[in-house]
Amino acid sequence: MSVDRSRLPGPGPEPHIRFPEIAKQTLPNGLRVWTVEHRGLPVIALMALVPAGASSDPFDRPGLAALTGDMLDEGAGGRSALELQEALGRIGASLDTEVGPDATMLTLAMISRFTDRGLALLADILMRPALDEREFARLRELRVNRLVQLRDVPPSLADRAFSRLLFGAHPYAHLPMGTEPSLRAMTHDEVCAFHRRAYDPRRTTIVAVGDACHDELFQAVATAFAGWPAGPAAEVDAAVPSHVAPVVGSRVAIVARPGAPQSELRIGQVGAERRTPDYHALLVLNTLLGGQFVSRINMKLREQRGYTYGARTTFDFRRGPGPFLLQTSVQTQATAAAVREAFDELSAIRDARPATADEAALARASLTRGFPRSFETSEQVARALAQLVLYELPDDSFEQFVPRVNATSEDEVTRVANAYLRPAEMVTVIVGDADVVAPALQSEGFPEPQLVTVE
Amino acid sequence: MDIAFTRRVLDNGLNVIVHEDHRCPIVAVNIWYHVGSKNEQPGRTGFAHLFEHLMFEGSEHYDKGYFHPLQEAGGLINGSTNADRTNYWEVVPTNALEIALWMDSDRMGYLLPALTQAKFENQREVVLNERRQNYENRPYGLAPVVILGALFPADHPYHWLSIGVPADLRAASLDEVRHFFESYYHPRNASVALAGDIDQASALELARRYFGDICPGPEVSPVHPVAARLASEVRLLLEDRVELPRLYISWHTPGLFRKGDAEMDLLADVLTSGKSSRLYRALVYEQRIATEVAAIQNSREAAGFFQVIATAAPGRTLNDLRRAIDEELARLVAEGPTTDELERAQVQFEAQFVFGLESVGGFGGKSDQLNAYNVFLGDPGWFARDLARYREATTEGLRAAAARYLDPAERVIASVVPRGRPELAVSDSTPVVPS
């Protein structure tokens, strides 16, 4: 049978999607344990979620949560930093510590024959870190040096300037890595105090996903973590501020990078929190606006204009309202035109050219049909569960995803575009050649850009 | 660790590999063309990668961007080009397999009728922007240009990067690009791997139906460059917009899957994987003269090169780093790694290997790996033997490989320093300006 090349084949019947079945239990010390059986390969993914991230940093100590997270495996449970690293190496496990705005997540993926050894090490790391003073001094120096290096990395400069301009004095105003002055002033005692305050079994959840049954997974976690004593109850809850004073009037800022061949761009505003009832509609909006290759913004800036290697938009959903942002890197000469076109697209989706039925259908299809592949590997499943924990989402969130997205009409997209996108209040950050970019922006009708530095 | 598969060679020479995995309702479609920047000519570089872009811009029977129908079907789409091969892949829901096969076969068989001057020029601009973003405007981004340029002579196909030289890209004509397609992008030079929620018989039948009628294309002669050697140590200096100086030391080593390749991989691990690794411990943890250090065996089809890369802590020079690295390497060559070090490196490789098998698609997933073994070794079922290369390595094997290949007299040392600070470089380095 030869191929009919006059048209593309249509999709076959939708495949059945199986979502992970989650078993939840709580240890007497308050530690929550969530397990999922994920068969196929001899692999286990463990994730520990502690709901304390960069937004829990004291106002004058940006970077404290991240440095504390980093200190956890610098010696623990009687092993020195090097011994602990060797013990992890012997089971082929690597520990990944991510400190985000709202949480610290530790991931340990390993071959399942090492599950008990891996859990024992993870328990040491969480419950019994040495928090040694000499290791602290060494790590702090490394982090300061890393920040020094990042002074020359345009995406990093752009992210830091954008967060600060957007959030002002809000806990989301700094990146988790903190700042050079803060790190230089940070003390060992502060790390110890932060650890005492934030790391407690009653606020922690362990997610275990892998090639074993629920009971085996649970028992293994329970054995490793049973001895973790709960701390003073009063210190347990750390609320995340959920309201942000809106920025009034748009601002354009340039971080100077003389002679740069490209400008690194960020344009955006405060968006929405993960628990917003508009979550699914915002996903559809973002997908067609700038969330995938065939979105309006990438097609305009990359495929039609050739200004960039790629452009995208994101609603960074967090416990509190996170940023909505457009990010791209465009050639220097095209910067002003790219900013103008980006703003045109951000405005047009609200009124002049609202989402069409076809665009909304494409975005819905892309989101819903692509959903099953987010549950392929054990680590993907563990990450999906961590979202439920962190944002306190209902158990049926995965099942609800497809119907909720499919219920988003193009009118609904237009409604959320008007409710959430406010181009007149957006902040623009450009890391680039100010001598070329600033005059060009003004001749495009933008206000005189403000020159800013990052530290 | 066996991955069950079936391979068929169609009449037009196309290799088709099928692997069943029903855990998730998705299928990976992964196509390798055995063409990379090593098939390019000096002065005509960047074609293979530019082609990767053009392959998404439409074909005779679907003359529009390729992303739309595949994203509408819920697919994930990407491609990449390196020195030796170009791959294109989709991960689609099971019910969209035919859409992916239709499109992949259309661009394999019928790309040129849809290739226009306008598309070519637009994607050339996109590629030049990719180069600006990932090389020119990135700290240390041009170091690889300088290093590969010195490791391999001008007529060796690893002399240039797959992103290409901007002047070559600007000088390229549509006719040359068409000729490049006709030479390399056809069934005889391709391998298709389908992995996931499919059954073998119908997957093979679908592959035959969609790809079976495409013309085989001309024979591609393999590229066998003369082995490159360094007569002496080469020291180069590159000034860049960076805060901290960085040292790159590079040596010639065996190519992918050759004897000694796995040993070099394991040595890289022993040297820089984790705090307790030799170079990290010495330079970053104990002496605190470096902020980071990494070692990597770059395994390519025709040759390999091993690199140690270290960034100096503030106040330190690259001479300090070079001296410390040389001391550690000399100790490794003299004593070899310990059994414990080797075992840790081996179990790390085993774990990484198993994690890779968790995904049917994407870079490094099962479909990509089946194609890698098939294209480079002619046997998709090389999983167990690949792992065995690492399991069977010995401490003496690692020591001997270090002694043979990490020769201080035959290497390229590149110092990347802040502008105006040449004194931070390794002494007696020659200033270079990347093209």
Most B-contacting residue of A19, A70, A369, A436 (CB-CB within 10 A), to test interface? A369
The yes or no reply on domain B6-211 and CATH 3.30.830.10 is yes
Residues of chain B with pLDDT below 50 are none
| Residues A308, B95: C-beta atoms closer than 8 Å | no
- Does B348 contact A89 at a Cβ distance shorter than 8 Å? yes
Phi, psi of A261 (to 5 degrees): -75, -20
pLDDT for the residue A241 = 54
Q: Which of A82, A141, A375 sits opposite B288 (nearest CB)?
A: A141
Question: pLDDT tens for residues A269-295?
Answer: 999 999 999 999 999 999 999 999 999
Query: Which residues on A lie below 8 Å from B133 (Cβ)?
Result: 262, 308-309, 329
Antiparallel, parallel or unpaired: β B290-299 and B304-312: antiparallel
Rounded distance between C-alpha atoms, residue A171 and residue A164, angstroms: 10
**Looking at residues A156-169, what average pLDDT do you find?**
94
**Counting one residue from A and one from B, how many pairs have CB atoms under 8 Å apart?**
219
Among B60, B274, B340, the residue with its CB nearest the CB of A85 is B274
Give the pLDDT of residue B435.
Answer: 72
Examine the pLDDT at A374 and tell me if it is beyond 80: yes
User: What is the separation of C-alpha A328 from the centre of its chain, rounded to a whole number of angstroms?
Assistant: 18
| DSSP-derived 3-state class of residue B196 | strand
Tell me the per-residue pLDDT of A22-32, one tens digit each, with 9 for 90 and over. Answer: 999 999 999 99
- Cβ atoms of A259 and A433 closer than 8 Å: yes
> Alpha-carbon distance A192 to A40, whole Å?
41
ipTM confidence: 0.93
Closest-CA distance of chain B to residue A87, Å: 9
Q: Is the pLDDT of residue A236 over 80?
A: no
Is the Cβ–Cβ distance between A330 and B128 less than 8 Å?
no
Phi and psi, residue A260, nearest 5°: -65, 135
pLDDT in tens, A312-333: 999 999 999 999 999 999 999 9
User: How many C-beta neighbours within 10 Å does residue B400 have?
Assistant: 15
Between CA A255 and CA A383 the distance in angstroms is: 35
Q: Quick check: A240 pLDDT over 60?
A: no
Q: Provide the token pair at A239.
A: 């609320």
Q: Report the run of H or E that residue B115 belongs to, with start and end.
A: none
Q: Which residues contact B422 (CB under 8 A, 6 or more apart)?
A: B237, B239, B429, B431
The mean pLDDT value of chain A amounts to 94
Residue labelled with tokens 């969609």: B210
The answer to whether A43 contacts B241, with C-beta atoms less than 8 Å apart, is: no
Give the C-alpha separation, B100 to A9, whole Å. 9
The alpha carbon of residue B219 and the mean position of all alpha carbons in its chain are separated, in whole angstroms, by: 24
Residue B287: which residues within 8 A CB-CB, separation 6 or more? B324
A48-79 pLDDT tens trace? 999 999 999 999 999 999 999 999 999 999 99
Domain(s) of CATH 3.30.830.10: residues in chain B: 6-211, 234-431
- Classified by CATH at the fold level, domain B234-431 comes out as Cytochrome Bc1 Complex; Chain A, domain 1 (3.30.830)
Say what the pLDDT of residue A234 is: 46
- Alpha-carbon distance A61 to A67, whole Å? 11
pLDDT of residue B325: 98
Domains of chain A: 23-235 (3.30.830.10), 251-452 (3.30.830.10)
> Is the pLDDT assigned to residue A149 strictly greater than 60?
yes
Taking the C-alpha atoms of residue B262 and residue B275, their distance in angstroms, rounded to an integer, is: 22
SS3 per residue for chain A:
CCCCCCCCCCCCCCCCCCCCCCEEEECCCCCEEEEEECCCCCEEEEEEEECCCHHHCCCCCCCHHHHHHHHCCCCECCECHHHHHHHHHHCCCEEEEEECCCCEEEEEEEEHHHHHHHHHHHHHHHHCECCCHHHHHHHHHHHHHHHHHHCCCHHHHHHHHHHHHHHCCCHHHCCCCCCHHHHHHCCHHHHHHHHHHHCCHHHCEEEEEECCCHHHHHHHHHHHHCCCCCCCHHHCCCCCCCCCCCCCCCEEEEEECCCCCEEEEEEEEECCECCCCCHHHHHHHHHHHHHCCCCHHHHHHHHHCCCEEEEEEEECCECCCCEEEEEEEEEHHHHHHHHHHHHHHHHHCCCCCCCCHHHHHHHHHHHHHCHHHHHCCHHHHHHHHHHHHHCCCCCCHHHHHHHHHHCCCHHHHHHHHHHHCCHHHCEEEEEECHHHHHHHHHHCCCCCCEEECCC
Q: In sequence order, what are the residues at sequence separation of 6 or more whose Cβ sits closer than 8 angstroms to the Cβ of residue A61?
A: A178, A182, A185, A186, A190
Q: What is the pLDDT of residue A18?
A: 85
- The pTM assigned to this predicted structure is 0.94
Nearest to B180 by CA among B277, B41, B382: B41
Radius of gyration of chain A (CA): 24
Q: Tokens 């070099």 sit at which residue?
A: B264
Q: Name the residue among B137, B242, B275 with its Cβ closest to that of A81.
A: B275
Residue A16 confidence (pLDDT): 85
Which pLDDT does position A231 carry in this prediction?
83
Residue B248 near residue B368 (C-beta atoms within 8 A):
no
In chain A, residues with a C-beta closer than 8 Å to the C-beta of B72 are: 362, 365-366, 369
B91 burial level (CB within 10 Å; 0-12, 13-18, 19+) = buried
